[in-house]
Chain A
Amino acid sequence: MDKKRGAGVAARSLAIMLLLVAIGLVALAVLNLQGLRLLFGSLALLLVGIAAAILLQPNFRAIYRVASATFFEARRRRFMNVILIFAVILVGLSSFFATLSPSAELNMLLDIGLGSIRLCGMLIAVFLGARLIADEVDKKTVDVILAKPVRRAEFVIGKFLGAWITVTCFLLVMGVAFFIVYQIKAPQLVAKMQAVGMALSLEETSANVLKATLLILFEMMVLTSIAITVSTFASWIFSAVFAFTTYFAGQLSSYFHHIATFNDKSVAIINPSIKMFSWVIYRLLPHFEFFDIREKLLTHDPVYWEMIGMTAGHGVLYSLVLVALACVFFSYREF
């Protein structure tokens, strides 16, 4: 017994030490020491995760089983396959928009292709995230699972991971479809553009397409976590509506920031309560517009990995906080 208690004390001490180091790393990230903000932030996140695992001692096998069951169950849902087929058709169609110039045609290909992936990814993330836990509760399958040695938080984390893996797989299929179309069409268009003296690197554009797809993946992670979190205490319809609303409001985060910080009284006077409301919205909502880098692709602006890392980190952090909240909400739910 003493041995067990001793091991427990040692584990707690280690976890506290890791958390202290993580706090130090967060401070370094905030200071952006040596321009390594991303590295410090990622390490801090990793250490917090390890500390949480040591303190809470989750049953990883149970989480894995719930996640894999979620994945295999989710991919059988009919609406998912309908959306996937729709997305692949849209992506395919993006290559058929013949326009005036090769440059515009390339932009059309990128815009419609990536836009289709994003739109369909959003539909899948919202509907899947909103329905997973709600369906388990409605069908009472959750009763049998929670009567087993599975903590409610483990169930929620398993559901979230299963949903995100499913969304990732669907995005992968859509991404591969788009990449095939892109690989066929883009070299022809770039060659035409180069023939008329327009300088454009195919490699750079391809890398940017990959970065854009990667960001969609993290964007969908946030969206899935929103839908799942709300579904732990509300109906799936409310969760879906809430997730959609948040998604569209999150596209306007710059607008809210602008309102919140607007001070030019010579142009307009904004009611302080509206400014406060905009500030709260800006601070609370995920900044979904940062995940959409199509604009940069269309204007051929450089897309830096650091920016991708920061945005992805924002997404991961936001999702972690939401999943933690979902675990808390779900722990108070009755069945």
Chain B
Amino acid sequence: MGEIGIAIRTEGLTKVYRIGIRGTHVGIGDLTVEVPEGEIYGLVGPNGAGKTTTLKLLLGLLFPTSGSGEVLGLPLGSPDYKARIGYVPDGPYFYDHLNAPELLRFYGALFGLTGKVLEQRIAELLELVGMADRAHFRVHEYSKGMRQRVAVAQALLNDPDLIFLDEPTAGLDPMGAIQMRNIVLDLRQRGKTVFLCSHLLKDMEPMCDRVAIVSRGALKLTGPIDEVLQAGAGYRVRATGVSPETRRKIEAVVTGIVEPDADGVAVLKAADQKRALEVANTAAGDGAQVLEVGPDRRTLEEVFIDVVEGQAGD
């Protein structure tokens, strides 16, 4: 089995903006991350957390104040890796007077694509992003969602190994958002690396293999999504027929109880495996049917709130 490469690596990457004569603002500070090839990596954080700054540093649009980084094994800003990446900006802007094929022809030519290869690629991509029937519209006639679709098309022109997406589902209708998710998942299926920036956590959670949470210009948490969601979540016992008597008995052991759902399944949460087994035994002894005992999993939103609120108290 071949070794998995690293698509993006940063080492203490820092960007400090100057504000006025003496003021400074840390856009992102001391960012050290590794993005393995073939994964979907989500960078999440509230507005102004440093997501776009990080993205722009990786694209060479901003220069780091300190630290270093590599994209596809090449130093930040090198035009050589830019031939192998795609970029979907947040709220994409294009030349207003062009229509979608003209725009894609322009960007395709910047990658050195020409002739039939380019035309075929444009037709495929317009079909993929659902713009084939509206290809003749000029950019200034596009809705935000249509611009976003064209932005995705232009980012895929060169069949990139690594694609950067900044708020990819912003402005898309529900169908567009689903399409976008399918495109991203398909990219991973084809062995591509995807670097996603977003604050739409519900969109990110089902897609990402790995996440990093940034807030106020600092990296707060990073790791594989399963580890991040399970960390500190404790254990849970799913059971039916949990009586009030049982509840009273386990009151001191559980950390929380999720009331029974439509199927009558209640979730009893415990801090660790030992306590979870104790809860399960007590419930089973009282006649409840224990369906599952296992590690609990929080949502990305819950983890995010914990991280950001924890920092608010700092």
Q: A61-B109, A62-B110, A73-B97 are in contact. Are A147 and B85 (CB under 8 A)?
A: yes
Q: A149-B111, A334-B61 are in contact. Are A144 and B97 (CB under 8 A)?
A: no
Q: Is the CB of B61 within 8 A of A69?
A: no
Within 8 A of A (CB), among B58-110: 59-63, 79-80, 82-83, 85, 87, 89, 91-95, 97, 106-107, 109-110
Q: Which of B56, B79, B154 has the most CB of A within 10 A?
A: B79
Q: Is the CB of B62 within 8 A of A334?
A: yes
Q: How far is the CA of A183 from the CA of B85 in the complex (A)?
A: 57
- The total of chain B residues at the interface (CB under 8 A) is 28
Q: Is the CB of B95 within 8 A of A73?
A: yes
Number of A-B contacts (CB under 8 A): 70
The listed residue (A69, A139, A332, A335) touching B106 by CB distance below 8 A is A69
Q: How far is the CA of A197 from the CA of B119 in the complex (A)?
A: 68
Closest to A72 in B: B97
Task: Write the nearest CB–CB distance from B119 to chain A, whole angstroms.
Answer: 16
Q: Is the CB of B97 within 8 A of A141?
A: no
Q: How far is the CA of A59 from the CA of B111 in the complex (A)?
A: 10
Q: Is the CB of A147 within 8 A of B87?
A: yes
Q: How far is the CA of A148 from the CA of B107 in the complex (A)?
A: 8
Q: Is the CB of A334 within 8 A of B110?
A: no
Q: How far is the CA of A265 from the CA of B309 in the complex (A)?
A: 79
Task: Write the nearest CB–CB distance from A82 to chain B, whole angstroms.
Answer: 18
Q: Is the CB of B93 within 8 A of A147?
A: no
Within 8 A of B (CB), among A47-66: 59, 61-62, 65
Q: A65-B109, A65-B110, A335-B56 are in contact. Are A143 and B61 (CB under 8 A)?
A: yes
Q: How far is the CA of A221 from the CA of B79 in the complex (A)?
A: 29
Closest to A62 in B: B110
Closest to B80 in A: A149
The listed residue (A72, A139, A150) touching B79 by CB distance below 8 A is A150
Q: Is the CB of A334 within 8 A of B82?
A: no
Q: Is the CB of A144 within 8 A of B94?
A: yes
Q: Is the CB of A65 within 8 A of B106?
A: yes
* Contacting residues, chain A, for B62 (C-beta < 8 A): 334-335
Question: Is B244's beta carbon under 8 Å from chain A?
Answer: no
Task: Write the nearest CB–CB distance from A111 to chain B, whole angstroms.
Answer: 38
Question: Is A146's beta carbon under 8 Å from chain B?
Answer: yes
* Contacting residues, chain A, for B91 (C-beta < 8 A): 140
Within 8 A of A (CB), among B1-56: 56
Question: Is B112's beta carbon under 8 Å from chain A?
Answer: yes
* Contacting residues, chain A, for B107 (C-beta < 8 A): 144, 148
* Contacting residues, chain A, for B56 (C-beta < 8 A): 143, 334-335
Of the A-B pairs whose beta carbons lie under 8 Å apart in the complex, a sample of 16, sorted by A's number, is A62-B109, A62-B110, A65-B110, A69-B95, A73-B95, A139-B93, A140-B93, A141-B94, A143-B56, A144-B92, A144-B93, A146-B59, A147-B59, A147-B60, A148-B107, A334-B62
The 8 closest A-B pairs by CB, nearest first: A147-B87, A149-B83, A148-B110, A65-B109, A335-B61, A149-B82, A140-B93, A149-B79
